[in-house]
Structure 1
């Protein structure tokens, strides 16, 4: 997920942390630097601080403000250097830890940023801004459980915080928890009608197999930003779910024109060509997808189907057992495994697997009905001003 909105807001807010000169005899250039930084003139501040540093021993305030001046000029490596020097004089300072974390985020180092936000929270446990930024880091590091927990704590403390709702919904989506994700993302869209939000909501609808609504969200994202990454692949996935094969193939081919290494486009073109009995094309695209994500369960399933077509039941069984070990709830893999057992004349195993399939289908139907109801309720409530955005709310 992109975090431009969160980061820009945080960087702007960091201006409120400017440390001003105390009533002591400081070099005049330090005083001028403080004033320039407070007035949003980082270049002037930098010039004045460089004058004052040789005139007196460096202080925590000057080093911290010098880091902020460099951050204001987007020179984040230098900002990191001076924040570090300031923290050598005051290791537990929460605002500077926060600013150091922001500088790490701006240089694409979420792991280091997370450590700084955590240290900032140790000194200031109630800082929801630091907690939300920590959640962003954990999201970027794919620790979605922790990101979801942290974003939910922010949302409980600040129920109107749309960025926290979006982050929580996005984290739940990555965890496959679609039912509460959809109303959260809906609530954030009402406050920030961004193409990213529509894409994430579309992905949530794909998760609950509401393909028509997913298509609408992806189309809205495309209208807002035609060059969005992966938009054609997402449109193709929605069309495929609706059985609109020709439209799906056209979208996936558009995606590959932009990015030949898009996994979803290669995978779906392999699958759709396999369903159309165009096996040479299917194998070509599936081989590409397998190279991009070796061992991916979706690709492995397609290879299992191809093995069945070649009457290589032992190979099909081997592939399917690996899939089920990784994803026990992969229904199609269980369906195909039951067929494999019957072909191998392992009737007892086949009957057991078939019974499991029937139980899984019933459970999935209950889940889809509950999620479909949640989708409808979220759609009906999306414009209600007093609706609560986080799970578990009455």
Structure 2
């Protein structure tokens, strides 16, 4: 068979669909094969090597392109396009090559004719523009590049503006997904996890079309699930509603597992899964996942930070402190590490009662280190106020300048006041100041900060819920009930609010009100675990164990944590006893 006959025969063969990245990685594997791939057109180039290849400027047009998944907003990526593809001049007119513009998506079919210098030299048979696919532009690439630079400098709001400007362009689907991922990461770093989660959920819907293949690769797909798991974990940590918090952690578990299924090589994915398990009280699973992450990334301080926090939550404070010491050795100027080990020392000190004074003092020193690293961080200042209250309870001495002295209530108030100055909208700080002032007999000061807590955003149901729970904890049940009812008027379809109203009514002996609110909570959310359990208690108190049994059965299916399952077991025993005594 002549060369001409061989070429004609090859062009009649079906093309194997590949990624351009695959050709670049192993060109020899595709030698003399007909392939088809999608890429981003750049320009008509001038790279020819007629000595070592068949391609000359007299007979061929040099086609330059980027892989369709290339992050072309990165200068280093843009500087390395694929420039070893050639279209015979006699084919150019029929392909519409002259009408192609920079950044347009094209499908190329051709033959890998050589792997000289470990590069795929492609003889193009057809080059077709992908219609209605969207494309990058010089403007959108500029905006993304600037956003990345601003994000690296922690100018988060300015970076967000640039990402939004880039997304106003008609980007291709895969590009829009990848830029959305970058934008979500920036929002996460800015503490805007809710907005990040919404962006990531949209990106995942686009990445999982009803028909056809995903527009992004497995690793990018995995990264979206991982970032969404992180966002859900962050939202859960700040969620006031017990059931809503569990749901967020449960979603985080699902997304972290999805990330691991798609890319099991990333240690951070296992650590994030561990944090979600810990949030659900599943500490053994949490530790197992973090241990895997550390084995994969032994020098990753953040993974040890995750593990230390999980161990601390599990009550294994000695092991937590050792894990966090290693994290601090790896990143001694990371305030988060010092804050975490301060927590571990504090919890160990509280566990040891009168003998824990030294640990509480160490916790205060670590908090002070963290505050020196981040002096205007309201969260750190607030946490140090909590530690100071623990020092007072333990009758511990703390370092003040060059001397030690006993901790006093005013020292805690001073820390909380500094936190409120750093962030006047820090809800937990106003609640802590209200409690501190009430304890000292300053009811006017307590009322001032409770009012401030409510007025931070009088229509923010989450904040009102937290204030209500705080008042309930202070046994100011009438005030708590009023706050929950105020919130329910704003959001009448919030199952957690109805649960809290019913729970308080049950505590105060108003069975009818409790039943009405709890029934509404379950109507809004049929598997609301806490509402189901409380309603079973109401049914038992009303002498209706059959109704209670139905509620417990549903609650058993809705139980997510060991504590949930313990409560279900206790309720089943009550129901069985009531049925036996009928």
Q: What TM-score does the superposition give when structure 2 sets the normalisation length?
A: 0.39
For structure 2, which runs of at least 5 residues remain unmatched after alignment?
1-18, 24-29, 42-63, 82-100, 108-127, 134-171, 185-198, 234-247, 350-358, 397-406, 455-463, 478-506, 509-529, 531-582
- The answer to whether 1:29 aligns with 2:18 is no
Once residues 86 and 190 of structure 1 are traced to their aligned partners in structure 2, the CA distance between those partners, rounded to angstroms, is 48
Partners of 2:442 and 2:363 lie apart in 1 by: 28
1:132 pairs, out of 271, 284, 287, with: 271
Residue of 224, 230, 235 corresponding to 2:384: 235
Q: Are residues 205 and 124 of structure 1, via their aligned partners in 2, closer, same or farther at CA, if it must alter by over 3 Å?
A: same
Per-residue CA deviation, residues 299-350 of structure 1 (Å, 9 max, x unaligned), is: 43799xxxxxxxxxxxxxx79xxxxxx9xxxxxxxxxxxxxxxxxxxxxxxx
CA–CA distance in structure 2, aligned partners of residues 252 and 181 of structure 1: 26
> Does structure 1 residue 165 correspond to structure 2 residue 304?
yes
> Aligned pair 1:55/2:194, yes or no?
no
Contact kept, 8 Å, 1:93 with 1:120, in 2: the verdict is no
Match of 1:249 in 2: 413
The separation in 2 between residues aligned to 1:195 and 1:87, in whole angstroms, is: 47
CA distance in 2, matches of 1:26, 1:170: 46
Listed one character per residue, the Cα deviations across residues 37-94 of structure 1 (whole Å, up to 9, x for unaligned) are 278449959x9664326625999xxx89646753686486686466335995269974
Q: Residues 237 and 248 of structure 1 are in contact (CA less than 8 Å); yes or no, is this contact kept in structure 2?
A: yes
Gaps of 5+ in 1: 1-17, 304-317, 320-325, 327-394
Cα offset for 1:226? 1.1
Contact 1:80–1:103 under 8 Å retained in 2 = no
Where do residues 116-155 of structure 1 align in structure 2 (5 Å cutoff)? 116-122=255-261, 125=264, 127-135=266-274, 145=283, 146-155=285-294
Please report how far the alpha carbon of residue 278 of structure 1 lies from its aligned counterpart in structure 2 after TM superposition: 3.1
The 3 A distance-change label for structure 1 pair 276 and 92 is closer
Partner of 1:179: 318
Q: Is the 8 A contact 2:252 2:276 kept in 1?
A: yes
Matched-pair contact (CA < 8 Å) for 2:363–2:387: yes
**1:32 is paired with a residue of what secondary structure?**
strand
Counterpart residue number, 1:13: none
Tell me the equivalent position of 1:294: 468
Query: Which secondary structure state, in structure 2, belongs to the residue aligned with residue 238 of structure 1?
Result: helix
On the 8 A contact 2:378/2:426 being kept in 1, the answer is no
Provide the residue aligned with 1:205 in structure 2: 345
Aligned residues: 285
**Out of 92, 98, 101, which is 2:222 matched to?**
98
The structure with more helix, counted as a fraction of residues: 1
- The structure richer in strand per residue is 2
- CA 1:293 to 1:204, structure 2 compared with 1: closer, same or farther past 3 Å? farther
Deviation at 1:272, TM superposition (A): 3.5
Equivalent residue for 1:89?
213
CA shift at 1:224, angstroms? Answer: 0.9
Q: Which has the higher contact order (CA 8 A, sep 6+)?
A: 1
Give RMSD over aligned pairs. Answer: 4.8
Gap change, CA 1:157 and 1:25, over 3 Å in 2: closer
For 2:444 and 2:420, how far apart are their aligned partners in 1? 18
> 1:70-89 alignment to 2 at 5 Å?
70=179, 74=183, 80=204, 83-85=207-209, 88-89=212-213
